């Protein structure tokens, strides 16, 4: 019913034509990244919504009208970080170009359907929490009026050996936030947000952050709010309410395959590891 495109790779940036070909064909073949012999065919016949994840959705923008004509609802999780001076994201376009793409997309589909992610938050010898907060504040001024939500996440380095090795080889001194630093960062971000009015959330963080909710990146409430006229989707989400998006989404829809703190509802991801050319040093899906 809901397709994720994709946590594993940047489909809008690098595989937009492939995605459209598969959408027209009505199905896609997915391979389990942990078991290459396990393959599944995913049908688009009953797909009511697609959640796109991207650092550069510009190549997909010319196809949006066709996606809409096929009756597919969609919104974007747009990761817009400022690590230009740090070299963490060697393959992404210049920041100014990505900001303009963000604005163009929001003008096209509305600010509610473009979720801003600053993800992940990484510390180094020269990048402090205050510097990151300053970068977020600077980006917000560029995005003011073009988004309503900000999702953050704190880098997981130690639990991914490939990420740990890659960042170690870079010599940047990258490290994770301590719990105390997370709490202090969250408090400062909440204070800044008093002037911004964004809906703040943190992606799959086990520790509770005061004033910041756990994120629902594939969000039943957002889908219900944006696409309340889609009867099939509303039925899947648990029925309508007088004010769509305000009512509860069935707990049976929680995605059991994600981390415990993840608030996403069930979806089918169609991406493949090792197929993204951004080359982000912190990426767990990079092979």
Give pLDDT, residue 250. Answer: 54
- Residue 191 clears pLDDT 80, i.e. is over it: yes
Quote the pTM value: 0.93
CA distances from 229 to 30, 66, 180, 222 (A): 30, 19, 44, 13
Average confidence (pLDDT) over 193-214:
91
Q: What is the pLDDT of residues 17-42, one digit of tens each?
A: 999 999 999 999 998 877 777 888 99
- β-strand partners of 214: 202
**Taking CA 93 as the corner, what is the angle to CA 89 and CA 94, rounded to the nearest 5 degrees?**
95
CA distances from 226 to 85, 111, 162, 229, 245 (A): 36, 11, 38, 9, 8
Separation between Cα atoms, residue 113 and residue 134, nearest integer Å: 25
Is residue 110 packed enough to be buried (19+ CB in 10 Å), middle (13-18) or exposed (0-12)? middle
Provide, rounded to the nearest whole percent, the portion of the chain with pLDDT above 90: 83
Cβ count near 38 (within 10 Å): 10
Residue 240: pLDDT band by 50, 70, 90 thresholds? low
Instruction: Please provide the average confidence, as pLDDT, over all residues in the chain.
Output: 92
Separation between Cα atoms, residue 237 and residue 248, nearest integer Å: 9
Length of the chain as a residue count: 287
- The β-bridge relationship of strands 268-269 and 2-5 is parallel
Separation between Cα atoms, residue 287 and residue 81, nearest integer Å: 22
Domain locations along the chain:
2-218+255-269
Residue 243: pLDDT band by 50, 70, 90 thresholds? very low
Give pLDDT, residue 271. Answer: 96
């Amino acid at each position: 019913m809901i397709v994720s495109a994709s946590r594993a790779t940047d489909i809008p940036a690098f595989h937009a034509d492939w995605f459209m070909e598969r959408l027209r064909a009505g199905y896609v073949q997915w391979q389990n990244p942990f078991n290459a012999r396990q393959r599944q065919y995913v049908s688009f016949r009953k797909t009511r919504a697609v959640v796109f994840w991207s650092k550069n959705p510009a190549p997909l923008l010319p196809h949006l009208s066709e996606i809409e004509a096929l009756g597919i609802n969609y919104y974007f999780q747009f990761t817009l970080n400022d690590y230009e001076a740090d070299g963490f994201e060697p393959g992404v376009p210049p920041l100014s170009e990505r900001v303009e793409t963000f604005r163009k997309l929001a003008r096209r589909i509305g600010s509610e359907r473009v979720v801003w992610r600053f993800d992940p938050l990484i510390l180094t010898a020269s990048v402090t929490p205050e510097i990151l907060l300053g970068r977020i504040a600077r980006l917000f001024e560029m995005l003011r009026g073009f988004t309503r939500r900000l999702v953050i996440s704190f880098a997981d380095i130690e639990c991914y050996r490939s990420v740990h090795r890659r960042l170690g080889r870079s010599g940047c001194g990258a490290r994770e936030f301590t719990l105390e630093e997370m709490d202090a960062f969250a408090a400062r971000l909440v204070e800044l947000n008093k002037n911004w009015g964004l809906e703040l959330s943190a992606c799959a963080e086990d520790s509770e952050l005061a004033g910041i909710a756990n994120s629902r990146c594939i969000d039943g409430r957002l889908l219900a709010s944006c696409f309340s006229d889609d009867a099939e989707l509303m039925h899947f989400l648990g029925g309508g309410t007088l004010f769509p998006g305000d009512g509860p989404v069935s707990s049976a829809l929680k995605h059991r395959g994600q981390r415990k703190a993840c608030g996403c509802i069930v979806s089918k991801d169609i991406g493949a590891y090792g197929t993204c050319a951004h080359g982000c040093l912190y990426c767990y899906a990079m092979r």
